[in-house]
Protein backbone atom coordinates (compact mmCIF):
# COMPACT_ATOMS: atom_id res chain seq x y z
CA UNK A 1 0.00 0.00 0.00
CA UNK A 2 1.31 3.44 -0.91
CA UNK A 3 0.48 6.82 0.59
CA UNK A 4 0.57 10.02 -1.42
CA UNK A 5 -0.32 13.34 0.11
CA UNK A 6 -1.93 16.17 -1.82
CA UNK A 7 -2.41 19.69 -0.52
CA UNK A 8 -4.70 21.64 -2.87
CA UNK A 9 -4.76 25.40 -2.21
CA UNK A 10 -8.04 27.05 -3.20
CA UNK A 11 -8.84 30.74 -3.62
CA UNK A 12 -11.72 30.85 -1.13
CA UNK A 13 -11.30 31.52 2.59
CA UNK A 14 -14.27 33.71 3.52
CA UNK A 15 -17.40 31.71 2.69
CA UNK A 16 -17.59 28.74 5.07
CA UNK A 17 -20.41 27.16 3.04
CA UNK A 18 -18.17 26.92 -0.02
CA UNK A 19 -15.27 25.52 2.02
CA UNK A 20 -17.61 22.92 3.54
CA UNK A 21 -18.99 21.96 0.13
CA UNK A 22 -15.43 21.28 -1.02
CA UNK A 23 -14.64 19.29 2.14
CA UNK A 24 -17.82 17.21 1.63
CA UNK A 25 -16.87 16.49 -1.97
CA UNK A 26 -13.48 15.20 -0.77
CA UNK A 27 -15.01 13.08 1.98
CA UNK A 28 -17.34 11.46 -0.55
CA UNK A 29 -14.37 9.83 -2.33
CA UNK A 30 -13.64 6.32 -0.99
CA UNK A 31 -9.97 5.68 -0.27
CA UNK A 32 -9.12 9.32 0.39
CA UNK A 33 -8.63 10.71 3.88
CA UNK A 34 -9.13 14.43 4.49
CA UNK A 35 -6.45 14.96 7.13
CA UNK A 36 -6.88 18.65 7.67
CA UNK A 37 -8.30 21.83 6.20
CA UNK A 38 -8.13 25.44 7.23
CA UNK A 39 -9.14 28.81 5.82
CA UNK A 40 -7.52 32.21 6.10
CA UNK A 41 -9.95 35.12 5.64
CA UNK A 42 -7.32 37.81 5.02
CA UNK A 43 -5.63 35.57 2.45
CA UNK A 44 -9.10 34.53 1.22
CA UNK A 45 -7.65 31.08 0.72
CA UNK A 46 -8.12 27.53 2.04
CA UNK A 47 -5.67 24.67 2.25
CA UNK A 48 -6.83 21.04 2.24
CA UNK A 49 -4.58 18.10 3.18
CA UNK A 50 -5.54 14.76 1.61
CA UNK A 51 -3.90 11.36 1.66
CA UNK A 52 -4.49 8.18 -0.28
CA UNK A 53 -3.34 6.10 -3.22
CA UNK A 54 -2.98 7.61 -6.68
CA UNK A 55 -6.37 6.87 -8.26
CA UNK A 56 -8.62 7.87 -5.33
CA UNK A 57 -6.57 11.07 -4.97
CA UNK A 58 -7.08 11.83 -8.65
CA UNK A 59 -10.84 11.41 -8.21
CA UNK A 60 -10.76 13.75 -5.21
CA UNK A 61 -8.89 16.47 -7.10
CA UNK A 62 -11.39 16.27 -9.96
CA UNK A 63 -14.24 16.58 -7.45
CA UNK A 64 -12.55 19.65 -5.98
CA UNK A 65 -12.39 21.26 -9.44
CA UNK A 66 -16.11 20.67 -9.92
CA UNK A 67 -16.86 22.54 -6.69
CA UNK A 68 -14.32 25.29 -7.33
CA UNK A 69 -15.62 26.02 -10.84
CA UNK A 70 -19.18 26.16 -9.56
CA UNK A 71 -18.47 28.51 -6.65
CA UNK A 72 -15.27 30.56 -7.14
CA UNK A 73 -14.84 33.47 -9.56
CA UNK A 74 -11.37 35.01 -9.67
CA UNK A 75 -12.73 38.15 -11.36
CA UNK A 76 -14.23 39.24 -8.05
CA UNK A 77 -11.74 37.51 -5.71
CA UNK A 78 -9.61 39.63 -3.39
CA UNK A 79 -7.08 38.55 -0.78
CA UNK A 80 -3.57 39.15 0.47
CA UNK A 81 -2.12 35.91 -0.86
CA UNK A 82 -0.91 35.80 -4.48
CA UNK A 83 -3.02 33.49 -6.68
CA UNK A 84 -3.48 32.54 -10.30
CA UNK A 85 -6.59 30.38 -10.20
CA UNK A 86 -9.64 29.13 -8.33
CA UNK A 87 -7.78 25.88 -7.66
CA UNK A 88 -4.48 27.67 -7.33
CA UNK A 89 -1.91 24.95 -6.59
CA UNK A 90 -2.08 21.14 -6.36
CA UNK A 91 1.09 19.41 -5.20
CA UNK A 92 1.49 15.64 -4.87
CA UNK A 93 3.91 14.48 -2.18
CA UNK A 94 5.40 10.97 -1.74
CA UNK A 95 4.93 9.76 1.84
CA UNK A 96 5.18 5.97 2.03
CA UNK A 97 5.82 3.17 -0.46
CA UNK A 98 5.84 5.50 -3.45
CA UNK A 99 8.57 7.26 -5.43
CA UNK A 100 8.83 10.88 -6.51
CA UNK A 101 8.69 9.62 -10.14
CA UNK A 102 5.28 8.07 -9.46
CA UNK A 103 4.04 11.34 -7.98
CA UNK A 104 5.28 13.17 -11.08
CA UNK A 105 3.34 10.72 -13.27
CA UNK A 106 0.23 11.28 -11.17
CA UNK A 107 0.60 15.06 -11.41
CA UNK A 108 0.76 14.88 -15.20
CA UNK A 109 -2.19 12.49 -15.41
CA UNK A 110 -4.32 14.76 -13.22
CA UNK A 111 -3.17 17.86 -15.13
CA UNK A 112 -4.18 16.34 -18.48
CA UNK A 113 -7.57 15.28 -17.16
CA UNK A 114 -8.32 18.67 -15.55
CA UNK A 115 -7.38 20.50 -18.78
CA UNK A 116 -9.53 18.18 -20.90
CA UNK A 117 -12.55 18.06 -18.64
CA UNK A 118 -12.67 21.63 -17.32
CA UNK A 119 -10.76 23.60 -19.98
CA UNK A 120 -8.45 25.07 -17.34
CA UNK A 121 -4.84 25.68 -18.46
CA UNK A 122 -2.24 23.91 -16.30
CA UNK A 123 1.37 24.71 -15.53
CA UNK A 124 3.44 21.85 -14.13
CA UNK A 125 5.87 22.82 -11.36
CA UNK A 126 8.68 21.59 -9.11
CA UNK A 127 9.63 17.96 -9.80
CA UNK A 128 6.93 17.62 -12.47
CA UNK A 129 8.49 20.40 -14.59
CA UNK A 130 11.61 20.05 -16.73
CA UNK A 131 11.71 23.78 -17.48
CA UNK A 132 14.03 25.62 -15.04
CA UNK A 133 12.05 28.85 -15.51
CA UNK A 134 8.85 27.06 -14.54
CA UNK A 135 9.88 24.92 -11.58
CA UNK A 136 9.33 27.59 -8.95
CA UNK A 137 5.76 28.38 -7.92
CA UNK A 138 6.48 32.07 -7.37
CA UNK A 139 7.86 32.43 -10.91
CA UNK A 140 4.75 30.84 -12.40
CA UNK A 141 2.39 32.84 -10.21
CA UNK A 142 4.08 36.23 -10.73
CA UNK A 143 1.57 38.68 -12.23
CA UNK A 144 -1.28 36.71 -10.62
CA UNK A 145 -4.73 36.21 -12.12
CA UNK A 146 -4.95 39.84 -13.22
CA UNK A 147 -1.82 39.56 -15.38
CA UNK A 148 -2.45 36.02 -16.54
CA UNK A 149 -3.87 36.62 -20.04
CA UNK A 150 -0.88 38.79 -21.00
CA UNK A 151 1.60 36.38 -19.44
CA UNK A 152 0.11 33.35 -21.18
CA UNK A 153 0.41 35.10 -24.53
CA UNK A 154 4.08 35.95 -23.94
CA UNK A 155 7.11 33.90 -24.94
CA UNK A 156 7.78 30.84 -22.81
CA UNK A 157 4.45 30.77 -20.99
CA UNK A 158 2.39 28.39 -23.08
CA UNK A 159 0.82 26.09 -20.48
CA UNK A 160 1.75 22.40 -20.25
CA UNK A 161 -1.87 21.32 -20.71
CA UNK A 162 -5.07 23.03 -21.83
CA UNK A 163 -5.86 26.24 -23.70
CA UNK A 164 -3.37 29.11 -24.11
CA UNK A 165 -5.70 31.57 -22.45
CA UNK A 166 -7.06 31.75 -18.90
CA UNK A 167 -10.33 30.12 -17.92
CA UNK A 168 -12.67 33.10 -17.54
CA UNK A 169 -13.54 32.54 -13.87
CA UNK A 170 -10.99 29.93 -12.75
CA UNK A 171 -7.76 31.33 -14.26
CA UNK A 172 -5.09 28.66 -14.40
CA UNK A 173 -3.72 26.02 -12.03
CA UNK A 174 -0.25 24.93 -11.01
CA UNK A 175 0.03 21.16 -10.54
CA UNK A 176 3.15 19.20 -9.65
CA UNK A 177 5.08 16.99 -7.30
CA UNK A 178 7.41 17.92 -4.48
CA UNK A 179 8.94 16.79 -1.20
CA UNK A 180 6.95 17.33 2.00
CA UNK A 181 7.06 21.02 2.87
CA UNK A 182 7.53 22.22 6.42
CA UNK A 183 6.01 25.55 7.40
CA UNK A 184 8.39 26.78 10.07
CA UNK A 185 8.48 30.16 11.85
CA UNK A 186 11.04 31.61 14.22
CA UNK A 187 9.91 34.45 16.49
CA UNK A 188 12.49 36.98 17.62
CA UNK A 189 12.62 38.86 20.94
CA UNK A 190 12.46 42.23 19.22
CA UNK A 191 10.02 44.49 17.40
CA UNK A 192 12.63 45.39 14.77
CA UNK A 193 11.16 44.33 11.42
CA UNK A 194 14.42 45.17 9.65
CA UNK A 195 16.17 42.44 11.66
CA UNK A 196 13.60 39.79 10.66
CA UNK A 197 13.88 40.88 7.03
CA UNK A 198 17.68 40.84 7.01
CA UNK A 199 17.74 37.36 8.55
CA UNK A 200 15.12 36.11 6.06
CA UNK A 201 17.28 37.47 3.23
CA UNK A 202 20.37 35.77 4.68
CA UNK A 203 18.85 32.30 4.81
CA UNK A 204 16.57 32.10 1.76
CA UNK A 205 17.69 30.62 -1.51
CA UNK A 206 16.56 33.53 -3.68
CA UNK A 207 19.02 35.92 -2.07
CA UNK A 208 21.98 33.61 -1.52
CA UNK A 209 20.89 31.43 1.41
CA UNK A 210 20.08 27.75 1.69
CA UNK A 211 18.89 25.92 -1.41
CA UNK A 212 15.57 24.71 0.07
CA UNK A 213 14.49 27.69 2.16
CA UNK A 214 11.90 30.31 1.31
CA UNK A 215 11.68 33.06 3.91
CA UNK A 216 10.22 36.48 4.68
CA UNK A 217 10.23 38.79 7.68
CA UNK A 218 6.91 39.82 9.26
CA UNK A 219 5.66 41.89 12.19
CA UNK A 220 3.43 40.18 14.77
CA UNK A 221 1.94 43.52 15.83
CA UNK A 222 -0.34 42.21 18.59
CA UNK A 223 2.64 40.59 20.33
CA UNK A 224 5.13 43.38 19.64
CA UNK A 225 7.62 40.99 18.06
CA UNK A 226 8.81 40.00 14.60
CA UNK A 227 8.91 36.67 12.82
CA UNK A 228 11.08 34.96 10.25
CA UNK A 229 8.47 32.92 8.40
CA UNK A 230 9.77 30.02 6.33
CA UNK A 231 8.91 27.18 4.04
CA UNK A 232 11.47 24.39 4.15
CA UNK A 233 11.02 22.60 0.85
CA UNK A 234 13.43 19.69 1.32
CA UNK A 235 14.13 18.78 4.93
CA UNK A 236 16.60 16.07 3.91
CA UNK A 237 18.93 18.44 2.08
CA UNK A 238 18.30 21.58 4.13
CA UNK A 239 17.45 20.28 7.63
CA UNK A 240 15.58 22.31 10.24
CA UNK A 241 18.47 22.42 12.72
CA UNK A 242 20.82 24.06 10.23
CA UNK A 243 18.28 26.76 9.46
CA UNK A 244 17.57 27.32 13.16
CA UNK A 245 21.27 27.62 14.06
CA UNK A 246 21.89 30.03 11.21
CA UNK A 247 18.97 32.25 12.24
CA UNK A 248 20.28 32.18 15.83
CA UNK A 249 23.78 33.27 14.79
CA UNK A 250 22.49 35.96 12.44
CA UNK A 251 20.22 37.30 15.18
CA UNK A 252 23.20 37.57 17.54
CA UNK A 253 24.89 40.19 15.38
CA UNK A 254 21.88 42.45 15.96
CA UNK A 255 21.85 41.70 19.68
CA UNK A 256 18.61 39.76 19.24
CA UNK A 257 17.66 36.35 20.65
CA UNK A 258 15.22 33.70 19.48
CA UNK A 259 12.04 33.80 21.53
CA UNK A 260 10.57 30.55 20.18
CA UNK A 261 9.91 28.69 16.98
CA UNK A 262 6.80 27.00 15.67
CA UNK A 263 5.96 24.27 13.23
CA UNK A 264 2.72 25.11 11.43
CA UNK A 265 0.71 22.04 10.51
CA UNK A 266 2.33 18.71 9.83
CA UNK A 267 5.95 17.59 9.92
CA UNK A 268 7.40 14.21 8.89
CA UNK A 269 8.86 12.25 11.82
CA UNK A 270 12.18 11.94 9.97
CA UNK A 271 12.57 15.74 9.96
CA UNK A 272 12.37 15.78 13.77
CA UNK A 273 14.56 12.70 14.24
CA UNK A 274 17.50 14.33 12.45
CA UNK A 275 17.19 17.29 14.83
CA UNK A 276 17.67 14.96 17.80
CA UNK A 277 20.54 13.20 16.00
CA UNK A 278 22.27 16.52 15.35
CA UNK A 279 22.05 18.10 18.78
CA UNK A 280 22.72 14.89 20.70
CA UNK A 281 25.55 14.01 18.27
CA UNK A 282 23.99 10.56 17.85
CA UNK A 283 26.16 8.27 15.72
CA UNK A 284 24.73 5.51 13.56
CA UNK A 285 21.06 6.12 14.30
CA UNK A 286 18.54 4.13 12.23
CA UNK A 287 14.83 4.79 11.73
CA UNK A 288 14.13 1.19 12.83
CA UNK A 289 15.33 2.18 16.31
CA UNK A 290 12.19 4.23 16.78
CA UNK A 291 9.97 1.91 18.77
CA UNK A 292 6.80 2.80 16.86
CA UNK A 293 8.47 2.13 13.49
CA UNK A 294 9.68 -1.23 14.73
CA UNK A 295 6.24 -2.16 16.04
CA UNK A 296 4.65 -1.42 12.69
CA UNK A 297 7.32 -3.15 10.61
CA UNK A 298 7.42 -6.44 12.51
CA UNK B 1 -6.10 -2.78 20.68
CA UNK B 2 -3.37 -2.35 23.27
CA UNK B 3 0.37 -2.87 22.96
CA UNK B 4 2.52 -3.94 25.88
CA UNK B 5 6.22 -4.53 25.50
CA UNK B 6 8.16 -7.08 27.52
CA UNK B 7 11.94 -7.39 27.58
CA UNK B 8 12.94 -10.63 29.33
CA UNK B 9 16.65 -10.85 30.18
CA UNK B 10 17.99 -14.41 30.26
CA UNK B 11 21.25 -15.73 31.67
CA UNK B 12 22.50 -17.36 28.47
CA UNK B 13 24.56 -15.58 25.83
CA UNK B 14 27.09 -18.16 24.67
CA UNK B 15 25.09 -21.10 23.30
CA UNK B 16 23.31 -20.00 20.11
CA UNK B 17 21.24 -23.19 20.05
CA UNK B 18 19.68 -22.34 23.41
CA UNK B 19 19.02 -18.74 22.39
CA UNK B 20 17.38 -19.96 19.17
CA UNK B 21 15.24 -22.47 21.08
CA UNK B 22 13.94 -19.60 23.22
CA UNK B 23 13.33 -17.41 20.17
CA UNK B 24 11.39 -20.26 18.51
CA UNK B 25 9.27 -20.76 21.61
CA UNK B 26 8.34 -17.06 21.52
CA UNK B 27 7.56 -17.11 17.79
CA UNK B 28 5.21 -20.06 18.34
CA UNK B 29 2.84 -17.89 20.41
CA UNK B 30 0.12 -16.30 18.28
CA UNK B 31 -0.41 -12.59 18.96
CA UNK B 32 3.15 -11.96 20.13
CA UNK B 33 5.78 -10.29 17.96
CA UNK B 34 9.45 -10.92 18.66
CA UNK B 35 10.82 -7.47 17.78
CA UNK B 36 14.45 -8.09 18.55
CA UNK B 37 16.87 -10.31 20.40
CA UNK B 38 20.58 -10.15 20.97
CA UNK B 39 23.19 -11.99 23.00
CA UNK B 40 26.34 -10.82 24.73
CA UNK B 41 28.96 -13.53 25.23
CA UNK B 42 31.03 -11.70 27.83
CA UNK B 43 27.87 -10.93 29.80
CA UNK B 44 26.63 -14.46 29.00
CA UNK B 45 23.19 -12.96 28.70
CA UNK B 46 20.46 -12.45 26.06
CA UNK B 47 17.79 -9.81 25.82
CA UNK B 48 14.51 -10.45 23.97
CA UNK B 49 12.05 -7.71 23.02
CA UNK B 50 8.42 -8.84 22.66
CA UNK B 51 5.22 -6.94 21.98
CA UNK B 52 1.57 -7.89 22.16
CA UNK B 53 -1.56 -7.80 24.27
CA UNK B 54 -1.53 -9.01 27.88
CA UNK B 55 -2.65 -12.64 27.49
CA UNK B 56 -0.45 -13.63 24.52
CA UNK B 57 2.51 -11.98 26.29
CA UNK B 58 1.80 -13.99 29.40
CA UNK B 59 1.81 -17.19 27.34
CA UNK B 60 5.14 -16.18 25.76
CA UNK B 61 6.78 -15.54 29.14
CA UNK B 62 5.63 -18.95 30.40
CA UNK B 63 7.05 -20.57 27.25
CA UNK B 64 10.35 -18.78 27.91
CA UNK B 65 10.46 -20.22 31.44
CA UNK B 66 9.96 -23.73 30.08
CA UNK B 67 12.98 -23.33 27.80
CA UNK B 68 15.11 -21.59 30.43
CA UNK B 69 14.49 -24.24 33.07
CA UNK B 70 15.32 -26.97 30.59
CA UNK B 71 18.59 -25.44 29.36
CA UNK B 72 20.08 -22.99 31.89
CA UNK B 73 21.79 -23.86 35.16
CA UNK B 74 22.96 -20.95 37.28
CA UNK B 75 25.26 -23.21 39.31
CA UNK B 76 27.62 -23.37 36.34
CA UNK B 77 26.81 -19.99 34.79
CA UNK B 78 29.54 -17.37 34.56
CA UNK B 79 29.43 -13.89 33.02
CA UNK B 80 30.26 -10.26 33.65
CA UNK B 81 26.69 -9.11 34.12
CA UNK B 82 25.09 -9.43 37.58
CA UNK B 83 22.22 -11.98 37.64
CA UNK B 84 19.98 -13.72 40.11
CA UNK B 85 18.21 -16.27 37.93
CA UNK B 86 17.97 -18.17 34.64
CA UNK B 87 15.15 -15.83 33.62
CA UNK B 88 16.73 -12.90 35.38
CA UNK B 89 14.37 -9.95 34.80
CA UNK B 90 10.98 -9.59 33.10
CA UNK B 91 9.64 -6.04 32.79
CA UNK B 92 6.28 -5.12 31.24
CA UNK B 93 6.12 -1.71 29.58
CA UNK B 94 2.98 0.22 28.49
CA UNK B 95 3.30 1.35 24.86
CA UNK B 96 -0.13 2.08 23.38
CA UNK B 97 -3.71 1.97 24.64
CA UNK B 98 -2.74 0.54 28.02
CA UNK B 99 -2.05 2.04 31.45
CA UNK B 100 0.83 1.44 33.83
CA UNK B 101 -1.73 -0.01 36.28
CA UNK B 102 -2.69 -2.66 33.74
CA UNK B 103 0.98 -3.56 33.25
CA UNK B 104 1.36 -3.87 37.03
CA UNK B 105 -1.63 -6.24 37.11
CA UNK B 106 -0.12 -8.31 34.30
CA UNK B 107 3.25 -8.48 36.08
CA UNK B 108 1.58 -9.82 39.23
CA UNK B 109 -0.52 -12.32 37.27
CA UNK B 110 2.55 -13.65 35.44
CA UNK B 111 4.60 -13.71 38.67
CA UNK B 112 1.95 -15.78 40.44
CA UNK B 113 1.67 -18.23 37.56
CA UNK B 114 5.45 -18.68 37.21
CA UNK B 115 5.84 -19.31 40.94
CA UNK B 116 3.00 -21.83 40.93
CA UNK B 117 3.93 -23.67 37.78
CA UNK B 118 7.75 -23.66 37.99
CA UNK B 119 8.41 -23.23 41.71
CA UNK B 120 10.66 -20.22 41.04
CA UNK B 121 10.58 -17.44 43.70
CA UNK B 122 9.64 -14.03 42.31
CA UNK B 123 10.47 -10.52 43.47
CA UNK B 124 8.25 -7.75 42.08
CA UNK B 125 10.08 -4.54 41.16
CA UNK B 126 9.66 -0.96 39.97
CA UNK B 127 5.98 0.05 39.57
CA UNK B 128 4.81 -3.45 40.56
CA UNK B 129 6.43 -3.21 43.99
CA UNK B 130 5.09 -1.20 46.93
CA UNK B 131 8.20 -1.81 48.99
CA UNK B 132 10.70 1.07 48.63
CA UNK B 133 13.60 -1.28 49.45
CA UNK B 134 12.55 -3.60 46.62
CA UNK B 135 11.68 -1.24 43.78
CA UNK B 136 15.19 -0.98 42.41
CA UNK B 137 16.52 -3.89 40.36
CA UNK B 138 20.11 -3.44 41.63
CA UNK B 139 18.97 -3.64 45.26
CA UNK B 140 17.11 -6.90 44.62
CA UNK B 141 19.95 -8.39 42.59
CA UNK B 142 22.73 -7.44 45.01
CA UNK B 143 24.57 -10.63 46.14
CA UNK B 144 23.56 -12.33 42.88
CA UNK B 145 22.71 -16.01 42.49
CA UNK B 146 25.63 -17.07 44.68
CA UNK B 147 24.35 -15.05 47.66
CA UNK B 148 20.68 -15.69 47.01
CA UNK B 149 19.94 -18.44 49.56
CA UNK B 150 21.38 -16.37 52.42
CA UNK B 151 19.64 -13.21 51.24
CA UNK B 152 16.24 -14.91 50.91
CA UNK B 153 16.53 -16.18 54.49
CA UNK B 154 17.30 -12.72 55.82
CA UNK B 155 14.87 -10.12 57.13
CA UNK B 156 12.83 -8.30 54.48
CA UNK B 157 13.70 -10.62 51.58
CA UNK B 158 10.80 -13.07 51.57
CA UNK B 159 9.81 -13.16 47.86
CA UNK B 160 6.45 -11.80 46.66
CA UNK B 161 5.50 -15.16 45.13
CA UNK B 162 6.82 -18.71 45.39
CA UNK B 163 9.10 -20.53 47.83
CA UNK B 164 11.42 -18.78 50.30
CA UNK B 165 14.45 -20.49 48.89
CA UNK B 166 16.09 -20.34 45.45
CA UNK B 167 15.18 -22.75 42.68
CA UNK B 168 18.21 -25.06 42.51
CA UNK B 169 19.19 -24.31 38.92
CA UNK B 170 17.06 -21.25 38.04
CA UNK B 171 17.57 -19.08 41.15
CA UNK B 172 14.90 -16.40 41.37
CA UNK B 173 13.34 -13.90 38.97
CA UNK B 174 12.52 -10.21 39.15
CA UNK B 175 9.23 -9.33 37.43
CA UNK B 176 7.59 -5.94 37.26
CA UNK B 177 6.35 -2.97 35.26
CA UNK B 178 8.18 0.16 34.23
CA UNK B 179 8.32 2.99 31.71
CA UNK B 180 10.18 2.40 28.45
CA UNK B 181 13.90 2.42 29.21
CA UNK B 182 16.37 4.11 26.91
CA UNK B 183 19.90 2.70 26.77
CA UNK B 184 21.96 5.78 25.99
CA UNK B 185 25.74 6.18 25.86
CA UNK B 186 27.88 9.28 25.50
CA UNK B 187 31.45 8.79 24.24
CA UNK B 188 34.07 11.32 25.34
CA UNK B 189 37.11 12.51 23.36
CA UNK B 190 39.52 11.29 26.02
CA UNK B 191 40.98 8.10 27.41
CA UNK B 192 40.64 9.34 31.01
CA UNK B 193 38.40 6.82 32.77
CA UNK B 194 38.27 9.02 35.89
CA UNK B 195 36.48 11.71 33.86
CA UNK B 196 33.80 9.28 32.64
CA UNK B 197 33.33 7.99 36.17
CA UNK B 198 33.07 11.46 37.71
CA UNK B 199 30.51 12.52 35.11
CA UNK B 200 28.52 9.31 35.64
CA UNK B 201 28.50 10.01 39.38
CA UNK B 202 27.36 13.59 38.78
CA UNK B 203 24.31 12.66 36.71
CA UNK B 204 23.04 9.41 38.23
CA UNK B 205 20.31 9.30 40.83
CA UNK B 206 22.17 7.09 43.30
CA UNK B 207 24.87 9.69 43.88
CA UNK B 208 22.79 12.88 43.73
CA UNK B 209 22.04 13.29 40.02
CA UNK B 210 18.84 13.08 38.03
CA UNK B 211 15.98 10.99 39.40
CA UNK B 212 15.66 8.68 36.38
CA UNK B 213 19.28 8.16 35.37
CA UNK B 214 21.49 5.16 36.03
CA UNK B 215 25.06 5.65 34.86
CA UNK B 216 28.56 4.23 34.95
CA UNK B 217 31.89 5.14 33.36
CA UNK B 218 33.64 2.61 31.10
CA UNK B 219 36.76 2.38 28.99
CA UNK B 220 36.38 1.54 25.27
CA UNK B 221 39.92 0.23 25.08
CA UNK B 222 39.97 -0.64 21.39
CA UNK B 223 39.01 2.94 20.50
CA UNK B 224 41.15 4.62 23.15
CA UNK B 225 38.20 6.56 24.55
CA UNK B 226 35.84 6.42 27.51
CA UNK B 227 32.07 6.19 27.75
CA UNK B 228 29.36 7.37 30.10
CA UNK B 229 26.90 4.49 29.79
CA UNK B 230 23.34 5.20 30.92
CA UNK B 231 19.88 3.85 31.36
CA UNK B 232 17.23 6.56 31.22
CA UNK B 233 14.30 5.07 33.08
CA UNK B 234 11.69 7.78 32.54
CA UNK B 235 12.26 9.95 29.48
CA UNK B 236 9.23 12.10 30.27
CA UNK B 237 10.54 13.24 33.65
CA UNK B 238 14.27 13.12 32.91
CA UNK B 239 14.52 13.88 29.17
CA UNK B 240 17.53 12.93 27.03
CA UNK B 241 18.46 16.53 26.17
CA UNK B 242 18.85 17.52 29.83
CA UNK B 243 21.15 14.59 30.49
CA UNK B 244 23.17 15.32 27.34
CA UNK B 245 23.60 19.01 28.20
CA UNK B 246 24.64 18.20 31.76
CA UNK B 247 27.23 15.68 30.57
CA UNK B 248 28.53 18.28 28.10
CA UNK B 249 28.92 20.94 30.82
CA UNK B 250 30.52 18.53 33.28
CA UNK B 251 32.98 17.39 30.59
CA UNK B 252 33.98 21.01 29.96
CA UNK B 253 35.44 21.38 33.43
CA UNK B 254 37.90 18.61 32.63
CA UNK B 255 38.70 20.12 29.23
CA UNK B 256 36.93 17.22 27.53
CA UNK B 257 34.41 17.31 24.67
CA UNK B 258 31.67 14.91 23.63
CA UNK B 259 32.75 12.78 20.67
CA UNK B 260 29.32 11.28 19.94
CA UNK B 261 26.38 9.64 21.63
CA UNK B 262 24.47 6.49 20.79
CA UNK B 263 21.05 5.08 21.42
CA UNK B 264 21.28 1.33 21.93
CA UNK B 265 18.22 -0.51 20.70
CA UNK B 266 14.80 1.08 20.62
CA UNK B 267 13.62 4.56 21.59
CA UNK B 268 10.02 5.86 21.73
CA UNK B 269 9.33 8.56 19.12
CA UNK B 270 8.13 10.92 21.87
CA UNK B 271 11.58 10.82 23.50
CA UNK B 272 13.14 12.13 20.29
CA UNK B 273 10.40 14.66 19.58
CA UNK B 274 10.99 16.47 22.87
CA UNK B 275 14.68 16.78 21.93
CA UNK B 276 13.71 18.62 18.75
CA UNK B 277 11.23 20.75 20.71
CA UNK B 278 13.90 21.71 23.23
CA UNK B 279 16.73 22.66 20.90
CA UNK B 280 14.53 24.38 18.34
CA UNK B 281 12.60 26.14 21.13
CA UNK B 282 9.36 24.94 19.51
CA UNK B 283 6.30 26.38 21.25
CA UNK B 284 2.97 24.54 21.40
CA UNK B 285 4.04 21.41 19.56
CA UNK B 286 1.54 18.54 19.48
CA UNK B 287 2.14 14.87 18.67
CA UNK B 288 -0.65 15.07 16.09
CA UNK B 289 1.57 17.40 14.06
CA UNK B 290 3.80 14.47 13.21
CA UNK B 291 2.59 13.47 9.76
CA UNK B 292 2.81 9.73 10.43
CA UNK B 293 0.76 10.04 13.62
CA UNK B 294 -1.89 12.03 11.77
CA UNK B 295 -2.03 9.47 8.96
CA UNK B 296 -2.61 6.65 11.41
CA UNK B 297 -5.17 8.51 13.50
CA UNK B 298 -7.40 9.70 10.66
**Which pLDDT score, from 0 to 100, does residue A297 have?**
66
pLDDT in tens, B7-17: 999 999 999 99
At B173-205, the pLDDT tens digits run: 999 999 999 999 999 999 999 999 999 999 999
B81 catalytic? Reply is yes
B295 vs A3, A258, A284: nearest CB: A3
Give the distance, in angstroms, between the CA of residue B209 and the centroid of all CA atoms in the same chain. 20
pLDDT at residue B190, rounded to an integer? 97
Q: Which of A1, A232, A291 to mutate to test the interface with B (most CBs of B within 10 A)?
A: A291
Alpha-carbon distance of A113 to A126, in angstroms, equals 19
- Burial letters A208-234, b for 16+ CB under 10 A, else e: ebbebbbbebbeeeeeebbbbbbbbbb
Residues 13-42 of chain B with CB under 8 A from chain A are 33-36
* Residues on chain B touching A260 (C-beta within 8 angstroms): 281-283
**pLDDT band at residue B298, thresholds of 50, 70 and 90?**
low
Q: Does A51 touch chain B (CB under 8 A)?
A: yes
Q: Which pTM was predicted?
A: 0.76
CB pair distance less than 8 Å for B261 and A276: no
Positive or negative: CA dihedral A6, A10, A16, A17: negative
pLDDT score of B297: 66
Q: A1 at the B interface (CB within 8 A)? A: no
When pLDDT is cut at 50, 70 and 90, the band that residue B96 belongs to is: confident
Distance CA A204, CA A185 (A): 13
d(CA B214, CA B237): 14
Bridge partners of B260, per DSSP, are B187
A276: which chain B residues are within 8 Å (Cβ-Cβ)? 240, 272-273, 275-276
- HEC assignment per residue over A131-186: CHHHCCHHHHHCCCHHHHHHHHHCCCCCCCECCCCCECCCECEEEEECCCCEEEEE
Count of residues for chain A? Answer: 298
CA A192 to chain centre: 28
Instruction: Burial-class residue A185 by CB neighbours within 10 Å (0-12, 13-18, 19+).
Output: middle
Flag whether pLDDT at A139 surpasses 90. Answer: yes
Residue of A nearest to B290 (CA): A267
Least Cα separation, residue A147 to chain B (angstroms): 37
Pairing of strands A87-96, A3-6: antiparallel
CB atoms within 10 A of CB B142: 12
Task: Identify the CA nearest to A215 among candidates A58, A226, B177, B255.
Answer: A226
Which of A55, A30, A144, A181 lies closest to B291 in space, CA to CA?
A181
Sequence-separated (6 or more) residues with CB below 8 Å from residue B124:
B107, B108, B111, B134, B160, B161, B174, B175, B176
Residue in B261, B268, B281 nearest the CB of A280: B261
What are the backbone angles phi and psi of residue A191, rounded to the nearest 5°?
-105, 10
Amino acid sequence: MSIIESIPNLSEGRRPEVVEAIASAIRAIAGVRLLDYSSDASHNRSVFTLAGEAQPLKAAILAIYEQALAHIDLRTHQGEHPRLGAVDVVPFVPIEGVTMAQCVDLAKEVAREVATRFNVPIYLYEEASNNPARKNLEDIRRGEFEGLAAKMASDGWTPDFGPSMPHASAGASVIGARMPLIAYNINLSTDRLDVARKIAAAIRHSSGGYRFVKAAGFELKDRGIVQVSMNLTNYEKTPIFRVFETVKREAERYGVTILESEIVGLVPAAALNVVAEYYLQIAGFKAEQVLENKLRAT
